[in-house]
Structure 1
Amino acid sequence: MKLADQLLSPPKKIFLIDALGAFLTASILGIVFTNFQEYIGIPTDILISLALIAVVFFIYSMSCFLFMKMKWKPYLKAIAIANLLYCILTVALILTFFHQLTLLGLFYFIGEIIVVLFLIYIELSIVNGK
């Protein structure tokens, strides 16, 4: 059985996984890291902006999970693309603020990129029926 099939049955549960990940990201960035910004190195306004993006992703994915009945593939592809754009933005921010980033901040953002890229792989595998 394929990895995507094992993780997600029915496939629309990936929206729930995406939503929970976005909620966790929004909480870490918007609540934890803004209160301990000096340990991360990214300016607070940037952390809040990233948290707000994650809130939008949470609302989108949770809405898809709760209300989507049919034809969910285009919506899953959309969130996969949005997640990829978020990763690109995160890489750009790492490069922009590299001199300010702490080791903890660098590890967090690289770890987040790895996790989100894995999620994108699963989402696109589901969309493409692999």
Structure 2
Amino acid sequence: MKFLTKTRNIFLLDSLGALLTSILLYFILRNFNDYFGLSKDIFELLSIIAFIFFAYSISCYFLVKQNWRSFLKIICGANILYCLLTFGIILYNYETISIYRTIYFLAEIAVIIGLVILEMKIIKSKS
């Protein structure tokens, strides 16, 4: 938690998580799409979205000096929308998606929701 005493470090944490997600989805899971029961297009779409989140968060880490709350609120909202999209993909593809993919997506959603909760606590504590 000492890492998060500097408010801008939450952007770094968020960006690293988004980059890891993007890499996992595009370079690893996309190549095993038949095993997971989803098309390559879904993996590519989610990896592109995650990479956009990475670019936004890392930009905020380096560029935002003041008014960081509004930038953090944007990424909180984006993360929530990503979770809803991911859950929607699970529901839409429930007949073809494997249990392994469902577990991966649900774990990813849980981690992101945990990060959003942490981000919201930071926003409230520093106001």
> Which amino acid is 1:64 matched to?
C
Aligned residue for 2:84? Answer: 88
Find the aligned partners of 1:85 and 1:44 in 2 and give their Cα distance.
21
Identity of aligned residues (%): 39
Q: Does 1:49 align with 2:42?
A: no
User: Relative contact order (alpha carbons < 8 A, sep ≥ 6): 1 or 2 greater?
Assistant: 1
Local SS of the residue matching 1:56? helix
Structure 1 portions without partners, runs of 5+:
none
Q: Aligned runs of 1:13-92 on 2, under 5 Å?
A: 13-92=9-88
Q: Could you tell me how far 1:7 is from its partner in structure 2?
A: 4.8
Find the aligned partners of 1:42 and 1:85 in 2 and give their Cα distance.
20
Q: Which runs of 4+ in 1 moved over 2 A?
A: none
Q: Could you tell me how far 1:93 is from its partner in structure 2?
A: 0.4
Local SS of the residue matching 1:36? helix
> Which amino acid is 1:56 matched to?
I
Find the aligned partners of 2:8 and 2:37 in 1 and give their Cα distance.
37
**Equivalenced residues, count:** 126
Q: Could you tell me how far 1:6 is from its partner in structure 2?
A: 4.0
Structure 2 portions without partners, runs of 5+:
none
Find the aligned partners of 1:7 and 1:101 in 2 and give their Cα distance.
38
Local SS of the residue matching 2:67? coil
More helix by share: 2
> Normalising by the residue count of structure 2, what TM-score does the alignment of the two structures yield?
0.95
